[in-house]
Structure 1
Amino acid sequence: MQTEIAFSELEQWIKKHMDSSFEEIKPQAISFRNKFQLIINSIKMMGKQLGEAQIKEDQVAQQFIPVINDAKNTLLTTIHRETSDKLMEINTFEDLLALRDRAKSLLTRLGETGGSHSRTIHSFFAKYAKVLKLELGILDKELKRINELIDDYDEKTSMFVDCKQRIAKVSSALNVEREFLMKQNEIRDELGLLTNKKAELERKIEDYKRTERYNQYLKDKEVMEGAGNAINNILSELNAAFSRISRPLSKYSYELGLDKESNILMQSVMESPANLMADDKANNIMEILNKVKDAMQKGRIVTKNPERDVENINTLANNLHDYVKQYMDYHSNMQELRNKTSVIDNELERMYEELRKIRDYMQHKESSLNDYNQRVTNAKVTIKDELKKIVEIIESATMNKVTITI
């Protein structure tokens, strides 16, 4: 026979079986309560009689009577405190535990009080001391029996307690599963919207690239690239030309010297020919070149191959203004095209930046979706494993096959 249990009713089902287990021991628990009540009644009766008992003056010296009465009153106070409350009825296992604790308290308190005044009570109230000792001895034996009963019950129902803990884990995992399944759906909806937005923006970019304006933009970019290459060639040729006359320039600077301003200008141009690109600077360089050539022709400075050096200086001097003019023309054209194309650059950059943000956000959402998938998977594994263990526990306890449905 196989029993099917809905998970929502599982705790109630376990409670029912635990209650059933308690019903088996309930008669013994009630029997203990009744015996405990008899013991309490007996102790209360003994206490009443003890309270009425008087010490005869011929039994003890007068000065000891207050001490003896103090011992008696202390014991009577403890008896009253421990026996005055009515015993609860036994309806649940918790009632049994409370009753057991009540009995332990009575046994401990009266034992401690009686023990601390043992000699006095036994010497002057021996009859009552014997009754108290007898009743406490009976209670001690009954407590041992009831503790055994409680231990047996705990052992028998401990597996159900374990089930309750596992039920809590399953409930928690179910909540996690529901929460992250809902979040998954929300993210999928967001990803759907983002996918549409991305596709729309990509179409917008493609449409933009099919316009005549964009075609002109590409042509302008191509012209700019050509102008940039031409400028680089000019600077490369200038750099080579200055390198070819570096020796006579160095000799002139070292042996005859340049004024500070000319020296700074020449060093700047030698480091980067782009620093030459202005007519006034070209004129200043021409003056320096003429001075160097004149010094060589007059023999004021001597180089290894003066004819070649003079020829190189003449070649550079003859072409210098052309280099500057070409550079400035290309540079001006590039600047004009750069201003023209920058508008489209900015528009494209804005669209591509927006597209990048969408893609990044989609990637973030997809990462979250993967994380939620893992959480849901982990929750499902927990649910499966814990339910399997609960089934094993219940089947072991009841010797019946069970199925738990969610």
Structure 2
Amino acid sequence: MVFGWGKKKPEQQEADIVAREKQITLNEIPDIISEIRSIRERTIIAEVKSFRNKINLNRNTIQNIATDLESDSLNLDDMDTHLSRIVKRGKNDVISAIKKECNATLPEIDSFEDVKAFNLITSRLLKKIGDALGRQSNVIHIFAKKYAKKLKSDLTIMTDGNDEINTVITNYSELEDNAKQILDNISKREASAKSIIELHQQQEKTEKNMQDLKSIIEDNIKNIKNIKDGKQYVEFLENKKKIDSLSSEKSKIKNEIGLQFVKISRPLNKYVYVSALDKPQKKLLAGLIDNPYDVLTETNKNDIAQILESVRKGIESGSVSVKDVSKSISQIDETLPKLDNFIKQIITYDKSKNDIEVKLSNFDDEQLRLEESNLARSQRDKLGAESKIKLLDSEITKTVESIPRYIKSIESILNQISAVQYKIKQ
């Protein structure tokens, strides 16, 4: 190899080197990386400068070989005309490639970018000349054997040196990748440390919020208890029970009325088609057929009695057709005297219901509903806060555990690119 950096040390020599260990902080690492980069870059520039001088000598040597080849007739006059043209064309192809590539300007080596530019030029030079020699291999090796040996020797030296530069560039690129990874891990470690502080702040805020919610819940429960322990609420519950019991009373009355009017439903339905009732009475008749409970009122009593009398007369006259005339008349006669009792039961029920509803209205349950709604919302919020605290705990644990991994990775990569073994203070 042409250069020192990038060479593999003998194993025994590596084993004999005692690594120095140095304690550092994360803040020192960017400067350490900059120093490593600077040393590596200066070393590369110095070594490639040396190679640039050598390649110039090699280029001059190759150009001289090309000049000698150009002036050498290769005894073309003694060859067959066809063969002579082939050899001459091959000779000119090689000479042209050498002159063109060897006249390219080589950059001065003052930076790593110059190293890469220099590498591109020398790689192109070697490829183009190599391609020309490959195309004209038979011509050169058979008819210009002494030039082939010289060219091969000088090109081999140049190729070996250029391979070394490729290795140097690759190694430096790896150094850059490692440096970037170290700096990225430092940023991640700093972000994690900042995140831990923010997560703790969120956790403290959520815990305070949960304590506030506990106090609110206690107040809600206390307020609800005070309301329910009050005399008005006790009376409210009693009256609600009475309302519920009245529902069964209404059903009983409604069933009794319904059963009675079912007995005369056929003649009532027939009467719809033969009667000459006005619109309100027709509506009243429809109510007696569909739901007599709703139309049995003191106001409607006389009209209902009149309708039933008219139905009775229609049955007697035959205008209202029924299967059993006497039975239908008997059932109407049975219904008529019951109207007063039915209406009385309905009025009594409605009065009892209204009286209880008035008493129910004495208790304003809006405050109770509001307290119960607030309690339910606060309990949901408390569950949400408890869940959030658990999630924050998990996130804090995960973030705290990530920091040693970042530190370990930073140390490991840093110690790969440095001769000094570093230990990061935590």
Percent of matched pairs sharing the same residue: 17
Q: Does residue 10 of the first structure (1) align with residue 30 of the second (2)?
A: no
Letter in 2 for 1:354: N
Taking a change above 3 Å as real, the CA distance of residues 389 and 151 of structure 1, as seen in their structure-2 partners, is same
- Counterparts of 1:149 and 1:23, CA distance in 2: 13
Contact 1:391–1:404 (8 Å) recurs in 2: yes
Taking a change above 3 Å as real, the CA distance of residues 147 and 237 of structure 1, as seen in their structure-2 partners, is same
Q: Does residue 100 of the first structure (1) align with residue 100 of the second (2)?
A: no
- Counterparts of 1:325 and 1:2, CA distance in 2: 111
Taking a change above 3 Å as real, the CA distance of residues 394 and 106 of structure 1, as seen in their structure-2 partners, is closer
Match 2:270 to one of 251, 254, 267: 251
Taking a change above 3 Å as real, the CA distance of residues 242 and 180 of structure 1, as seen in their structure-2 partners, is farther
Q: Which residue of 1 aligns with 2:260?
A: 241
- Counterparts of 1:175 and 1:190, CA distance in 2: 23
Q: Which residue of 2 aligns with 1:356?
A: 376
Alignment of 1:2-401 (within 5 A): 9-10=25-26, 12-13=28-29, 15-16=31-32, 19-20=35-36, 22-23=38-39, 26-30=42-46, 32=48, 97-100=112-115, 146=165, 148-156=167-175, 158-254=177-273, 256-261=274-279, 262-342=281-361, 343-380=363-400, 382-383=402-403, 386-387=406-407, 389-390=409-410, 392-393=412-413
Taking a change above 3 Å as real, the CA distance of residues 384 and 35 of structure 1, as seen in their structure-2 partners, is closer
Q: Which residue of 2 aligns with 1:112?
A: none
Letter in 1 for 2:382: M
- Counterparts of 1:33 and 1:2, CA distance in 2: 32
- Counterparts of 1:328 and 1:270, CA distance in 2: 21
| Cα deviations by residue, 1:178-221 (Å, 9 ceiling, x for unpaired) | 32231122111111101111111111111211111211112222
Contact 2:246–2:353 (8 Å) recurs in 1: yes
| Cα deviations by residue, 1:235-263 (Å, 9 ceiling, x for unpaired) | 23222222222112112223x23525223
- Counterparts of 1:404 and 1:349, CA distance in 2: 62
Letter in 2 for 1:304: K
Q: CA deviation at 1:318?
A: 2.1
Q: Please say which of residues 262-271 and 9-18 is displaced more in the overlay.
A: 9-18
- Counterparts of 1:316 and 1:271, CA distance in 2: 16
Contact 1:173–1:380 (8 Å) recurs in 2: yes
TM normalised by structure 2 equals 0.62
Taking a change above 3 Å as real, the CA distance of residues 167 and 272 of structure 1, as seen in their structure-2 partners, is farther
Taking a change above 3 Å as real, the CA distance of residues 356 and 148 of structure 1, as seen in their structure-2 partners, is same
* SS in structure 2 at match of 1:242: helix
Taking a change above 3 Å as real, the CA distance of residues 159 and 104 of structure 1, as seen in their structure-2 partners, is closer
Contact 2:258–2:293 (8 Å) recurs in 1: no
Contact 1:18–1:157 (8 Å) recurs in 2: no
Taking a change above 3 Å as real, the CA distance of residues 4 and 355 of structure 1, as seen in their structure-2 partners, is farther
Taking a change above 3 Å as real, the CA distance of residues 391 and 225 of structure 1, as seen in their structure-2 partners, is same
- Counterparts of 1:167 and 1:390, CA distance in 2: 7
Unaligned runs of 5+ in 1: 40-78, 89-94, 109-138
TM normalised by structure 1 equals 0.65
Contact 1:277–1:324 (8 Å) recurs in 2: yes
Contact 1:289–1:317 (8 Å) recurs in 2: yes
Unaligned runs of 5+ in 2: 1-18, 56-104, 124-157
Taking a change above 3 Å as real, the CA distance of residues 258 and 376 of structure 1, as seen in their structure-2 partners, is farther
* SS in structure 1 at match of 2:364: helix
Contact 1:282–1:320 (8 Å) recurs in 2: yes
- Counterparts of 1:258 and 1:4, CA distance in 2: 118
Taking a change above 3 Å as real, the CA distance of residues 346 and 21 of structure 1, as seen in their structure-2 partners, is closer
Contact 2:210–2:382 (8 Å) recurs in 1: yes
Aligned residue-pair number: 355
